[in-house]
Amino acid sequence: MAKKTNKKINPVILVLICACLLFAMYLSLSTIALGLWGQTVMGTVDSYDARLDDSHADANRSRTISKSYYFTVDGKEYRGHVMYTSDESWPRLADGETRTERISYFAFFPHINKPSALAEFSKMGEMAIIYHILSPVACFFLLLLVTGTLKKKEKKKKATPTSAYSQKSRLQPGGAVVCSNCGYQLAENVSFCANCGTSVR
C-alpha cells in the first residue's frame, strides 16, 4: 500500500515562518506609523558599518548598512539598532567617535524608534512607501495560507450545499437528493417533498 504523504508543516518550522511574517508586518507598519505620528529628536550614532555587497546592484541595493544609536527623551536614554540596504557610504567611526542623526520615535513608547531617514516619507522614496503599504497585506495573506485558515474557509463553503438539507432527505451516489420518506427525487432549494409533502429541511 502506498504511504499517505503528510502535508502538514512541522510545528517548529510553522512557528518560525509565522514569526518571520509577523516581524515583517511589524517593521512595515511601525515605519508607516512613525512617518505619520512619530516625534523626532537628535540622537547619537556610536556604531556604523557599510558593507559593499554588489557595486552593480540597483539603486539603494549596493551596500548593507548597520548602525547603533541612542537618544534621550524626558531624561531617559533609549538605544536602537538598524540594518538596511542603501548606497550610503559614510566613513566608519573610530573608537569613541560619534555622529549625530535625527531619530523618529513614538512619544508614548520611545522603545519603537528608527532613524528619521528611514521613516520620513519625503526621504524614503515612492517605492519604499509602496513596499511598506503592500508588505503587511501580503504577509497577512501568507499567514492565513500557512496556518490553513483559507483552506478551512474553502472547505466550509464546499460543505454548505449538502448541509442545507436535513436528515429527512438523503444524497444519492449520482448527486441527486431524494426524500427519505418516499424516495422521490427533490428539486434544488425545496423545503417540502412534492410527492408526500414531508419537510426536507
198 versus 16: which is more confidently predicted?
16
Q: Stretch 148-175: mean pLDDT, rounded?
A: 57
Predicted confidence (pLDDT) per residue in 24-50, tens digit: 999 999 999 999 999 999 999 999 999
Q: Residue holding cell 511574517?
A: 21
The confidence score (pLDDT) of residue 163 equals 44
The residues near 70 (Cβ < 8 Å, ≥ 6 apart) are: 43, 44, 46, 77, 78, 79, 80
CA distance 145 to 16: 15
